[in-house]
Chain A
Amino acid sequence: MRFHRSLSFKLTAFYVLLFVISVSLLFAVVGYLAQAAVEKQIRITVKAEAETLAAEYKATGPLTSAALIESRLRRGGSAYYLLQSSSGTAIAGNVTSINPKTGPSQLELTLVPDVHAKSAAQPSENRRAVGYGVKMPDGVFVLAAENVDWLDTVASAIRNAFIAAGLASTVLAILGGTLLSRGFLKRIDAINRTASQIMAGSITARIPHRARGDEIDDLAANLNLMLSRIETLMDNLSQVSNDIAHDLRTPLSRLRQRLEASRANAVTVEELRSETDTAIAETDDLLQTFSALLRIANIETGKRKAGFKKVDLSELVEFVSATYAAVAEDHEHRLASDIVPGVIIDGDRELLLQLVTNLIENAINHTPAGSTIRIALQCSDQDVSLSVADDGPGIPESERQKVLRRFYRLETSRTTAGSGLGLALVGAIAELHRARLTLADNEPGLIVRLVLRRA
């Protein structure tokens, strides 16, 4: 990472630039306001002086006012006075005569060599001043002014102070900016490092963060939650892959053995045919397992939701139980149904058909002869409840959630036919329909209940 391209540099540079601009702006405003305030004060003073002198002149005449000016000048300072006759000759004061102008003005004044003045100012020296002039009715001109050269000195002192302070602040800004952005980037780095670790294979790595922190801590916490979710999904996936590999290997090995044995032992064509038929049947079972797995995966994508339509669940359950009443009878079971008519829900007819079929077939296949299976469809104002209950051996409480997993089979049913995917498929279909699926004790037997929302 080259320094000038790093976020740290960019952040700091931006921070410093912003700081310099604001300091300059502050200087400009403060300098202007200070100068304006002083100048305003001077204007007020010189105007008052000039008006006092004019009043004195009017009341007592030129001699007394000249004396007054002399006494003022004796006090020293940076004040300038001028009493000028109508012909333009200076009568009294410490500056040479000027072109008379009434009211406030900016002036360039030339000093008169002054016997009273302690300063050794050169006579020819020009001074910048702010003055106020009053013209008397007899043509005499009175001027009071104040030197403003010192204002420049003050302004440059202020500027120097600002430059010094600005430089110091810039250094501080660079330092502060660097420290701040370093701290910030260190935490971004922590996130980056964790991401690299995860990409390198350690899925359990997590981003360090404080429990109660700022937005970055929140971000880290959220990323960690997301990572945990991904880890769970990956675990599920590898679990499923393992299950598939394991559960498909067994029937495939069996099939291979059978083929090998029939090749070695079958003597007549008839024998070979019958062995081949069995092998084909076993292959079909395997294909059906694949089909069921793909179907579950397909349902779990949720895409089928787009095709949801109004389904008459009463009619559907009635139809399935009418079909299976005969099948149950052939298996020496009894099938009874209690179905409320006219229950309509939003759903996928084909999948619901498979769900009901799977539940009934499970009940037939996993209960002994003589068992009774009861199918019930009830509904309340909001909910629809579909249940399939039997009075067989049931499922122990600790196993009830597990049987919904793919390939999970109870010890007692290992020997019966089936892929171990029937209930997993039921679970996926229930999930797609946002239905609550529960397995409970029917005392005796198992009751599977599905609670759906009414359309």
Chain B
Amino acid sequence: MKLLLIEDDKQTADFVERALVRDGHAVEVAGDGTRGLEQARAGLFDVIIVDRMLPGMDGLAIVKSLRNHGNLTPVLVLTALGSIDDRVDGLQAGGDDYLVKPFAFAELAARLAALARRAVAVDPTMKVTIADLEVDLVKRKVTRGGARIILTPVEFKVLEQLLRHRGRIVTKTMLLEEVWGFHFDPRTNIVETHVSRLRSKIDKGFDYELIETARGSGYMLRVPDAVS
């Protein structure tokens, strides 16, 4: 992916840039808002990562300006710790996702992948088939190997998220936000609890495990080329 990182903190910028390059992305870095906006307009990027607080020009102003000029490149807004209104402000300004600093790099990588893909194809499918798993998103019917699987509404929502990002990692935080609407960390393992229940219903008794745990970062619904 070709990425633009607009971040004034040199250390954070270096850390993120190095990690992204190691993952095989092409990264451009801008150290202040004004230059960031120029670069964003000049180049074609898969995703733009912009810090909320910037010298020169505020991160939200950059997003607004881009959107006003018809630039629809997905934008990930980085916000400060503990400020609940930042997220709402960021999304209202036209940002596509947000991430609270400091963050784990795996979290950033997962969100970038999700954003880039969302831009390519917003999934209009109502029926999804992965290996021998069939999911009817409209009728909320799940079968594997022809056998009907009964899921609770919460489990179905978790599966839906994994399906939307199939083949990619969905982090715990992404699940908390999208399934539960939690923009805080709960003190119990609600994600683990529900994923393990979902997994026991979908994978138990089958040779091929569809739900994979990415240690320390999240879960992934595997898309086996060979099987499908």
A326 with B194, Cβ < 8 A, contacts A287-B102, A353-B181 known: yes
B81 within 8 A of A: yes
Task: Point out the residues of chain A lying under 8 angstroms from B181, CB to CB.
Answer: 349-350, 353
B41 within 8 A of A: no
Stretch at the interface among A111-119, A147-155, A222-230, A288-296: A288-296
Encoded as 1 (CB less than 8 Å from any B CB) or 0, chain A from 404 to 432 comes to 00000000000001100010000000000
**CB <8 Å contact, A357 and B186:** yes
A453 within 8 A of B: no
Stretch at the interface among B13-21, B44-52, B82-90, B129-137: B82-90
**CB <8 Å contact, A364 and B188:** yes
A422 with B187, Cβ < 8 A, contacts A322-B154, A350-B181 known: yes
Which chain A residues numbered 149 to 170 have a C-beta less than 8 Å away from chain B? none
Looking at chain A's contact residues, the main secondary structure is: helix
Task: Point out the residues of chain B lying under 8 angstroms from A353, CB to CB.
Answer: 180-182
Task: Point out the residues of chain A lying under 8 angstroms from B153, CB to CB.
Answer: 322
B68 within 8 A of A: no
**CB <8 Å contact, A418 and B187:** yes
Contact of A294 among B82, B152, B185, B189 (CB under 8 A): B82
- Give chain A's interface residue range (CB within 8 Å of chain B): 20 to 34
Which chain A residues numbered 290 to 317 have a C-beta less than 8 Å away from chain B? 290-295, 297-299, 303-304, 307
A294 with B186, Cβ < 8 A, contacts A287-B102, A326-B194 known: no
**CB <8 Å contact, B154 and A417:** no
- Give chain B's interface residue range (CB within 8 Å of chain A): 20 to 34
**CB <8 Å contact, A323 and B187:** no
Q: Give the distance to chain B from A374, nearest Cβ to Cβ, in Å.
A: 18
Task: Point out the residues of chain B lying under 8 angstroms from A322, CB to CB.
Answer: 152-154
**CB <8 Å contact, B193 and A330:** yes
A298 with B186, Cβ < 8 A, contacts A287-B102, A322-B153, A323-B154 known: no
Q: From A281, which residue of chain B is reached at the shortest CB distance?
A: B216
**CB <8 Å contact, B152 and A303:** no
Task: Point out the residues of chain A lying under 8 angstroms from B183, CB to CB.
Answer: 350
A277 within 8 A of B: yes
Q: From A422, which residue of chain B is reached at the shortest CB distance?
A: B187
Q: From B155, which residue of chain A is reached at the shortest CB distance?
A: A326
Looking at chain B's contact residues, the main secondary structure is: loop
**CB <8 Å contact, A303 and B85:** yes
Q: Give the distance to chain B from A427, nearest Cβ to Cβ, in Å.
A: 16
**Distance between Cα atoms of A361 and B190 in the complex (Å):** 10
A68 within 8 A of B: no
A19 within 8 A of B: no
Q: Give the distance to chain A from B181, nearest Cβ to Cβ, in Å.
A: 6
Task: Point out the residues of chain B lying under 8 angstroms from A364, CB to CB.
Answer: 188
**CB <8 Å contact, B82 and A295:** yes
**CB <8 Å contact, A361 and B186:** yes
**CB <8 Å contact, A298 and B182:** no
Encoded as 1 (CB less than 8 Å from any A CB) or 0, chain B from 62 to 80 comes to 0000000000000000000
**CB <8 Å contact, B185 and A288:** yes
B206 within 8 A of A: no
B25 within 8 A of A: no
Task: Point out the residues of chain A lying under 8 angstroms from B190, CB to CB.
Answer: 323-324, 326-327
Which chain B residues numbered 159 to 214 have a C-beta less than 8 Å away from chain A? 180-190, 193-194, 197
A365 within 8 A of B: yes
**Distance between Cα atoms of A214 and B56 in the complex (Å):** 56
**Distance between Cα atoms of A211 and B18 in the complex (Å):** 72
Task: Point out the residues of chain B lying under 8 angstroms from A378, CB to CB.
Answer: none
A323 with B84, Cβ < 8 A, contacts A350-B183, A364-B188 known: no
**CB <8 Å contact, B188 and A327:** yes
Task: Point out the residues of chain A lying under 8 angstroms from B100, CB to CB.
Answer: 291
**Distance between Cα atoms of A288 and B184 in the complex (Å):** 9
**CB <8 Å contact, A298 and B84:** yes
A262 within 8 A of B: no
A354 within 8 A of B: yes
Q: Give the distance to chain B from A276, nearest Cβ to Cβ, in Å.
A: 11
Task: Point out the residues of chain A lying under 8 angstroms from B187, CB to CB.
Answer: 361, 365, 417-418, 422
**CB <8 Å contact, B193 and A361:** no
Encoded as 1 (CB less than 8 Å from any B CB) or 0, chain A from 323 to 365 comes to 1101100110000000000000000011001100100010011
**Distance between Cα atoms of A299 and B153 in the complex (Å):** 31
Task: Point out the residues of chain A lying under 8 angstroms from B189, CB to CB.
Answer: 327, 330
Q: Give the distance to chain A from B200, nearest Cβ to Cβ, in Å.
A: 11
Task: Point out the residues of chain B lying under 8 angstroms from A298, CB to CB.
Answer: 82-85
Q: From B215, which residue of chain A is reached at the shortest CB distance?
A: A277
Q: Give the distance to chain A from B104, nearest Cβ to Cβ, in Å.
A: 8
**CB <8 Å contact, B180 and A295:** no
Task: Point out the residues of chain B lying under 8 angstroms from A417, CB to CB.
Answer: 187
**Distance between Cα atoms of A326 and B153 in the complex (Å):** 12
Task: Point out the residues of chain B lying under 8 angstroms from A299, CB to CB.
Answer: 84
Q: Supply 7 further A-B pairs (C-beta < 8 A) apart from A304-B84, A326-B152.
A: A280-B104, A292-B82, A294-B81, A294-B83, A327-B188, A353-B182, A354-B182
- 9 closest A-B pairs by CB: A294-B82, A291-B82, A327-B193, A361-B187, A326-B193, A327-B188, A330-B193, A361-B188, A327-B190
| Residues of A near any B CB (own CB < 8 A) | 277, 280, 287-288, 290-295, 297-299, 303-304, 307, 322-324, 326-327, 330-331, 349-350, 353-354, 357, 361, 364-365, 417-418, 422
| Residues of B near any A CB (own CB < 8 A) | 81-85, 88, 100, 102, 104, 152-154, 180-190, 193-194, 197, 216
Ordered by A's residue number, 16 sampled pairs between the chains whose C-beta atoms are within 8 Å are: A298-B84, A298-B85, A299-B84, A303-B85, A322-B152, A322-B153, A323-B154, A326-B152, A326-B190, A349-B181, A353-B182, A357-B186, A361-B186, A361-B188, A365-B187, A422-B187
